[in-house]
Structure 1
């Protein structure tokens, strides 16, 4: 009996021991699993933190300013040692030879059988043939070159050599005395020219009630545009043009000045304000855009919740798909000019009407995207229903034969311009936001690039070429912006 009891007790003890061992093994295995999970979670956390840090630094990191060489030579090398710093009067001339050439080309065009556009496509395939005939007829029969030559020369024009380039600029001084005169540089883009500012300049130089200042207006032709010489070697993009424009202002004796820009004029003016904040007193733009990475991220998030980004004007940015489709459809020219500007330049320099339709297609669509659904492209609806201002602008390119060198600005865009977009601009800034401007950003996104954004003015009209289409409204806004710039500076 005793033996059986001992055997049973021993077996029970062995069973308990075995069970205990199994529990210990399970506990060990569970511990290992917990440790493994902990390690995995730790690794995942580290990776996630690293990714988050990388994304944060990639989006919010402010790069260093690029090196600035104020004396890069863009002209022929043999002119570098005989620098001419004089400021020379310049006169715009529509020569008899040029006019005879136009007549011959127009006569040749008239004798050709023209390809007709589809009846119901308006400008969705490009400039409609009926609009082309309208442009041709106006230019041939109603445009008076000698009268327009006198119009162009109603303001003073000059040339001076900066960094090897003969630069053309227009200078409009106020006639008013005993009032403070502030210098302002007006910068055009493509395919506009200095002609864009002919209606704005006298408005800015005329004294108005409520303002104790007027402007002295400097309107340059960008290098390679109009009557300004183009570079003889690659590399003259917006970054380098900003340096050239700053040196031009210094040449004229201005070390403190204001800037307004639209299109590429916005890009160049913004770079000037970023590089030379001690010289630029204020920056005004009619193209409210920034390519800063935080703003880009904000625009993407707005595709999910548009009203969060801009409760009032979200339709100007969204639906994102529609806006991107529009840009893809209407910016094909920029890809062509960014890759083969000299090729398309040859074609455009051969045909005045080809040049005109190429330029006017961009101007009319960016004035109002709805123009593409009108048979005449809006030519009778905008610009007072007259093409005289538009043909003036085309004539600048035709007479100067500058279409090729002007288009090279697209080819010369580089990473340095994108880098500068990530660097905050401390200069006081003001934006004019017009209804049909192809780029739009609300104030809080613009502040990533322009932390000293003083304000914006929003209108339910107008398009990309503000100075040409709405000169009065642009002049009013520049006056208002500068008045507030000056007030803030005085209060500080």
Structure 2
């Protein structure tokens, strides 16, 4: 177990670091680099619509607008009014999940003050579209800059959300990217992952991040973009990574704010054993040490503590999702608890979960409503099963490096800090690695200014 290694004496540390650092690690990573240097991820093809694949598919892009009705809102209120609340334990805060005492306050606001019709108008602020790809209606927003200066063109940027987020996470960052600064302006495309929000859910098993990557690549081609930039976090980070592995010649640059590393466990193990004592030997910076130690053992426990949802969704999503799809309050508690803890784990010790320290209730409930009105919570949870139904280290994309220019933004309150040295075996061409000043898992939603600036600085480096 780890404690017996962590307590190594100084002499043992010197022997281990010399033998492993100078010999085994060098050979291991040279072999990894040689094996992944020229590989690309096979693109393949798929059909996720109902029934058999037709001879031809409608490839038109159709305008789409989000709508609501009095009947939809009436049904929501009726279900909210029938909710059975369970009293919270004394002094439990958010350590048992969403605190029910505070949940009643949030629900009261939702029932009596939240204006869904007003939020629908906000959602329709940007142009929405749908197009059929591999049998699925794929929803996306496409935001073009206005008033481009003469001689300047916009950089196409594909931004992909994760769970339990949505395209709405990007609404605060979009103006910062589509308004020109220093001659750099973006044309942004934000799709909904199939099975999330207004994108149709797959009708067949097996729809994973590679299938989503292929669909979004086809979307960008259909929109006429031969080369483009990408940005992602959570599942969006994996989907955009897969696109870069699949079609590197079309990807000018990849920017990620979530890049967990699951392979190269030998390197990670050795760096965890030695990093607190000789960080320079394993490639750690002082900031890496600060974020990982001396709380590593605690961080392992934190990951276990925060990953229960993943085990459920990766095994029996339809069973767990049944109740969430039927109860708006249950759905809100399940989703909003993540926006508390994943923003800052210390928020678990607050009675209100710190929800309004980074977000407004209107923003949070708008994201919940996107799941509610589309009935997409079950299909969004299935994405975990499709991606985790086998060893992630044995997936085809796990064996292939990413060679496109890559920018990594490490936010301090992310669920797990990934040092540059852990990312490099997979991301071969990292030209920007930033230790962000503040923020957690929902970067675009929490800290749009910081993320936008990091994207800009990354793209400037690529363009040079």
When the two structures are superposed, what TM-score results if normalisation uses the length of structure 1?
A: 0.83
- Match of 1:249? 220
Q: What is the CA distance between 1:157 and its match in structure 2?
A: 0.1
Q: What is the CA distance between 1:57 and its match in structure 2?
A: 9.1
- Match of 2:48? 74
- Structure 2 residue 463 is matched with structure 1 residue 486: yes
Q: What is the CA distance between 1:135 and its match in structure 2?
A: 1.4
Q: What is the CA distance between 1:304 and its match in structure 2?
A: 1.9
Aligned partner of residue 116 in structure 1, secondary structure: coil
Q: What is the CA distance between 1:132 and its match in structure 2?
A: 0.6
Aligned partner of residue 204 in structure 1, secondary structure: helix
Q: What is the CA distance between 1:82 and its match in structure 2?
A: 3.9
- Structure 2 residue 398 is matched with structure 1 residue 398: no
CA contact (8 A) 2:127 2:142 kept: yes
- Match of 2:180? 207
CA contact (8 A) 1:207 1:214 kept: yes
What whole-Å deviation, never above 9, does each CA across 1:316-348 have from its counterpart, x for those lacking one? 234432111111111100010000011111110
Which blocks of at least 5 consecutive residues in structure 1 are unaligned?
Answer: 1-51, 488-492
- Match of 1:85? 59
- Match of 1:330? 306
1:344-355 superposed matches below 5 A = 344-355=320-331
Q: What is the CA distance between 1:137 and its match in structure 2?
A: 1.4
- Match of 2:8? none
What whole-Å deviation, never above 9, does each CA across 1:184-243 have from its counterpart, x for those lacking one? 0000000000010011111110011xx222110000000110000111111110111111
For residues 301 and 190 of structure 1, the distance between their equivalents in structure 2, rounded to whole angstroms, comes to 32
CA contact (8 A) 1:290 1:421 kept: no
- Structure 2 residue 350 is matched with structure 1 residue 374: yes
- Structure 2 residue 417 is matched with structure 1 residue 444: no
- Match of 1:119? 90
What whole-Å deviation, never above 9, does each CA across 1:88-110 have from its counterpart, x for those lacking one? 0101112222101011112222x
- Match of 1:304? 273
For residues 291 and 259 of structure 2, the distance between their equivalents in structure 1, rounded to whole angstroms, comes to 12
1:225-374 superposed matches below 5 A = 225-293=196-264, 296-307=265-276, 308=279, 309=282, 310-313=284-287, 314-318=289-293, 319-374=295-350
Q: What is the CA distance between 1:251 and its match in structure 2?
A: 1.0
1:52-71 superposed matches below 5 A = 56=28, 60=32, 62=35, 65-69=40-44, 71=45
Q: Which has the higher helix share?
A: 1
**Higher Rg of the two aligned structures:** 1
What whole-Å deviation, never above 9, does each CA across 1:443-485 have from its counterpart, x for those lacking one? 2221111121001121231000001111111111111111111
Q: Are the structure 2 counterparts of residues 306 and 422 from structure 1 closer, same or farther at C-alpha, using a change threshold of 3 Å?
A: same
For residues 190 and 352 of structure 2, the distance between their equivalents in structure 1, rounded to whole angstroms, comes to 31
- Structure 2 residue 79 is matched with structure 1 residue 105: yes
When the two structures are superposed, what TM-score results if normalisation uses the length of structure 2?
A: 0.88
- Match of 1:420? 397
2:449 to 454, 472, 490: 472
CA contact (8 A) 2:41 2:242 kept: no
